[in-house]
Structure 1
């Protein structure tokens, strides 16, 4: 059983005794501060999961040291104070430090908060159950590996700020789910979440899609059209694959981020943008800048807070659990009891999954269609390239499967074979990139 580490800096003896005698704190490995050095230096030298800090007026240098380090993104904090205004403590809270309790302290609430953190940080605890899945869940994200739990903590901290976020991760790793989870955990959760794929925009219509247009602004503009900035008013605008936006259009996006204003095509009136920007790319941003695909000044505007989504191969503890999670949902939807054989589970654990979570999910869905009761390794179709499909293999597809499902399997299989490259996949499938994006968006909307 994993015991999380708690850093404790409390000057008041009665409060320290009350905490150390509580049942929940006894479950932590407690690291107490000493008088040998400033508590911030001691904290930075420790490998802890949570810090409980009693703030005082002499801690300004300690607060500044925390702000200048990366520790706010790596661990959680609980501060208690006497209620006197502390500017540096306020800055820490605005940076997503965690909780701040003021005197008179409600110890029941404080101990409940510590219990919540213990359940989240302990690897044997479960947060949110999903049917018969054994994996933790935060927002729309599922996983219990150490890298995912660290991601959950980071997202919870940054979600309550107004910082623009740039999500970096491989194709299929779940970047849009991360963006949606940030929105759901933010103060804008009751307002719209609007997603647009920058790679699917035609250069001629980028301005209209982003900023909208008025009736008669150009040939074919038969009515006023709201752009995504207007659609997302008060909420979150997700710019997926932002590095695929034409470089000349990136200047216009940058102008909106700098001034907060935009003008619909054909209008002479500026509008004020009230949206939180979350962008994503499957490219290395620095390489994209070097290749001339991303403006450096736009990068710095978008990446006020960068978030890296781990690839599935770095989430070894989650791979089999995710397969069982996806199967549990399909079984619940179809009222079936299909199972993964031992050999299938072994193959799933050993496969590299270059298409990440998306590839795993679609492999399980294909296998679900092909299998009767027990899902065997052959049902996953991991080694079958679409271009090499033979008549024999086609005959193995069960009769009566809707064409829409077969089309979906063909598209997803081609994407997996091309490691998520949509341009190559669209060319092989004989469809346009925009059509491919539209179909993928449709599949995303129907996923649980």
Structure 2
């Protein structure tokens, strides 16, 4: 089946007013709700400003309102919404960007009340995705996300979506309205995209199978944490490096020699972001599957960011949703060149107390060789086979054995699981497997090498 070229619809309808050929000025609006501190709300608005900058939008001012609940009609209070028109005129802006997702009705009501163009967080991210999608798979994923966003927001004004059939007779059913026709055409396009993406995923799975025996390392983490810079520092690959959110949407994989005997496949992936709408996350699942199939994850953290702990939490939530919470992971604290001497000492002390954490600056190269040493320690240069008897109450350990090794044989009894496993020697000590060695193994103490 031949895959048609994706139709990214930045130029169409809702997506047209972020056209980079025209300068745009915006007012950003955030909401402080119960359970969200003022500091958190301000930090979220700062991130929205970064997103706007990436979309080539000039931010003129920000507005933060505190409320007990969201207004179902205007999202913010009607009085504050009415003020937006005069605020926009005073700053000569042509966009009002909200730091949350708006319902179709809220977006329509705000446009009618203020006379301004309204964007929400998802729509802004979608524009950035469309700008940065270069590979076929990224473009397919972006178009799918765009159409999923657009479907519940269709109105008669988006007539271009129903013109795909060229006006042929018999396209519409009896009594079908223009809006119904638009929706039907949109669902058909989504169905075709789903088939195309499924074919791409099969091709990617075949490609992964061909390199199954090679040790695979995947860079994950919050957007703009320095993953692409680290990719270049380790592999020498000429990858795009920009101080922007979502500069990388396409997975990049390079072969890297760890030493004379071992090599790895290093992959860069799309970054995570706080409150990424679920339909956007689902659209990029095909790209994130590179992390699912990795032997080791490098969770890259911008340690210089004032809210780096929140960014770690966001990334861990995404990894958990992908089922990767038990995947072998190195925490890589990056951008330490931006810290002062006291902060660097604090980071070094904290990492010394942690397992599997490294401090680096991918920009200067500091700590990169130490990181590669840690990666070598994870590489299965020397694996062993062990006979173990593990109580079935040790469910977490059983999961870790499956994640880090290969189960060669298993026999589940009433209270125990008798296993023969193959795994790298380094896990013997890390998982304290000497506690569960059967007598045949007991004569030869289990030690890490």
Same fold (TM over 0.5): no
Task: Report which of the two has the higher share of strand.
Answer: 2
The answer to which structure, 1 or 2, has the higher relative contact order (CA under 8 A, 6+ apart) is 1
Band the TM-score falls in, shorter-chain normalisation: under 0.3
Q: TM-score, normalised by structure 2?
A: 0.24
Q: TM-score, normalised by structure 1?
A: 0.24
